[in-house]
Structure 1
Amino acid sequence: MNKVMSNKLMIALYTLPALLLIGVLIYIPLILTGYYGLMDWDGIGDMTFIGLENYIAAIQDAKFWESAGHSFLLAVFSTLSLVIYLAISLILASKIKGADLLRKIYLVPMLLSSVAIAQLWIKIYNPANGILNSLLGWFGIDNPPAWLGDPSVVLYAIFIPILWQYAGFYILIYYAALKNIPDSLIEAAKIDGASAFEIAYKIKLPLIMGVVKVTIVLAIVGSLKYFDLIYVMTGGGPSGASEVMASYMYKLAFASYDFGYGSAIGFLLLIITLIVTVLIRKLTADKDELQY
C-alpha cells in the first residue's frame, strides 16, 4: 500500500476516472452554460455572439428578481423547518416506544418521486373535492382559497409538500448524529439532575452543531435551485406567483426557445448559489468545534 501511495503515476491512474466523470458531468456543462449565455441562440440554429447583453438583461429583468425572491423565501422556510425536523429527531432518539416505526414513516416521502408527490398534493388542494377543503368545511370554513389558483397563497401552498418531501431526509441525518452521542454523557447529565430539555439544549445540540450547519447549507442551496415539484404543480403560475429561478430559466430556454438568455439566467443562478454558500459557511464558521 505504501508503494502504491508513493507512486504518483498510480495515484493519477486511480483518480483519473473520477476526475473525468466530474469534468464531463459538472465542469464542462458549467463552462458551456456560461458560454451559451454570451450568445443569441434558440438552441437549434446558428449562434450569434452578443457579449454580456444576456447577463445585463437578466440583471435588469424584474421577473428574474421576483423569481429569485420566491427562491429565497423557500430557502427561509426550509431553514426554519429544520427546527421542527430537529425536534422530531430528538424525540425519536429518546428511546420512545414506536420510534423505529415512526422513523420509517417519516422516510416514506423520500421513496416517492417528485412528480408523484406533486400529483398527490394537487388532489389534496383540489378546490372542488380535495381533502383539505373538505376538512376545512367540517370546521365551518365555507369559502377556502383556491390553493393553487390564488396568487396570494399559491407559493405557501407549494412550500408545504416541498418541506414534507424532505422531512425524512433531514430527520434521518439528525437522528444518526444524535445516536452517535455516547450514552455515558447523557447518563452523567441525568445523574447531575439535568432535565430532558437541558440535556437536549445544552448537551445534544452543541455536540451535533456541525451536522446542523451542514443541513442549513443543504436546505438553502437546495431551495435556491429547486424546480421539479413546483413546475409540475403550477408551472410557475398563476401569473408567475410561484415562479422560482430554476423554473424561470427552464421556461426561457425550453419553452420560449431563448437558449442564450436561459443559459445566462442559469449561470447567474450558479453564481448566486455559490455566493450564498460561501456567506453561510462564513457566518456559521466556528473555530472551536466540540469533540466527543
Structure 2
Amino acid sequence: MNKVMSNKWVIALYVLPSLLLLGGLVYIPIVLTGYYGLMSWDGIGEMTFIGLDNYSRLLQDSTFWLSARHSFLLALFSTLSLIAYLAISLILSARLKGSELLRKIYLIPMLLSSVAIAQLWIKIYDPNNGMLNSLLTFLGVENPPAWLADRSTVLIAIFIAIIWQYAGFYIIIYSAALKGIPYSLIEAARIDGATPFQIAYKIKIPLITGVIKVTIILAIVGSLKYFDLIYVMTGGGPNGASEVIASYMYKEAFGRYNFGYGSAIGFALLVLALLTTWLIQKLTASKDELQY
C-alpha cells in the first residue's frame, strides 16, 4: 500500500476528480466573471469588449460604495455578535441542567430557509399588526417606527434578523470547541480557587483561539456576500437604504440586464472578500499556539 501511495501518478489520479470539480465549480466561474466584467452584454445578444470601462464606472458609482458600506456594517455587526454567541456557549458549557435542550433550541433557525425567516420577521416588524410594535404600544410607546420602511431603522432591523438566523450555527461551533477542552484542566483550576469568570477568560477562551479566528473570517466574509434574506425582506429599500453589494449586483445583472457591469460588481466583491480575509489573517496571526 505504501508503495502504491508513493507513486506520484497514483496520487495525481486520486486528486484529479476533486481538482476538476473545484475548477469547474469555483475557479472557472471566477475567471469568467472577471472576463464578463470587461464586456458590455445584456446576457442574450453579442458581447462587446469595452476593456476596464465597467471597473472604472464601478469606482465612481455612489450606489456601489453605499452598498459596500452597508455590507461592511453588517460584517462589523456580525463580528461583534460573536461575543454574545461565545458568552452563551461558555454558559452552556458549564454543564447546567437543560443546556443540551437550549443548544437544540438555538439551532432551530438554521433549520429554516432564508425565505421563511424573512417572512417571519416581516410579520414581526409589521407596523400595524406586528408583534414588536404591538408590544411597544402596550408599553406606552407612541407612534412606533415602521421598521422596514424607515431609512433610519431598516438596517438594524435586518441585522437583528440575520444575527438571529445564524446564532445556532456559531453557538454549535463554539460549544464543540469547548467540549474538546479536557475537563481535568477545568477541575484543576477550580481546585486552585479560580472563579468561573477566570476559568472562562484565562483557560477556555485562550484554548479555542483558533476556532474564534475561523468564526471571525466566516462572519465577515459571509456578511460581505449576504443576499437572500435582505432581498426578500426589503429588496434593498427603502430607496437603497438596505442595499448591499450582492443585491446591487443582482439588480444590475438580472433586473437591468447589464450582465457586464453586474459581473464587474461580482468580481469586485470577490476581491474585497479576499483582501478582507488576508487582512484578518495578518491581524490575528500569532506565533504561539496554546496546546493542551
Distance in 2, Cα, partners of 1:153 & 1:259: 32
SS in 2 for 1:151: coil
SS in 1 for 2:109: helix
2:40 maps to which residue? 40
1:6 maps to which residue? 6
2:155 maps to which residue? 155
How big is the shift at 1:8?
A: 1.3
1:227 maps to which residue? 227
How big is the shift at 1:12?
A: 1.2
1:64 maps to which residue? 64
SS in 1 for 2:63: helix
How big is the shift at 1:5?
A: 1.4
1:257 maps to which residue? 257
SS in 2 for 1:43: coil
Q: What pairs up with 1:165-244 in 2 under 5 angstroms?
A: 165-244=165-244
1:281 maps to which residue? 281
* Cα RMSD (Å): 0.6
Question: Which segments of structure 1 move beyond 4 Å, counting only runs of 4 or more?
Answer: none
2:97 maps to which residue? 97
Distance in 2, Cα, partners of 1:153 & 1:130: 15
How big is the shift at 1:141?
A: 0.8
Distance in 2, Cα, partners of 1:21 & 1:144: 52
Distance in 1, Cα, partners of 2:136 & 2:191: 48
Q: What letter matches 1:121 in structure 2?
A: W
How big is the shift at 1:63?
A: 0.5
Distance in 1, Cα, partners of 2:83 & 2:283: 18
> TM-score under structure 2 normalisation?
0.99
Distance in 2, Cα, partners of 1:152 & 1:53: 34
Identity %: 76
2:76 maps to which residue? 76
How big is the shift at 1:142?
A: 2.3
Distance in 2, Cα, partners of 1:283 & 1:252: 34
Distance in 1, Cα, partners of 2:244 & 2:126: 22
Structure 2 residue 50 is the aligned partner of structure 1 residue 53: no
Output one character per residue of 1:227-258: Cα deviation in whole Å (capped at 9) or x when no partner.
Answer: 00000000000000000000000000000000
How big is the shift at 1:4?
A: 2.4
Output one character per residue of 1:78-131: Cα deviation in whole Å (capped at 9) or x when no partner.
Answer: 000000000000011100010010000000000000000000000110111011
Q: What letter matches 2:230 in structure 1?
A: I
How many residue pairs match? The answer is: 292
1:246 maps to which residue? 246
SS in 2 for 1:262: helix
Q: What letter matches 1:89 in structure 2?
A: S
Distance in 2, Cα, partners of 1:169 & 1:4: 41
Distance in 2, Cα, partners of 1:237 & 1:267: 23
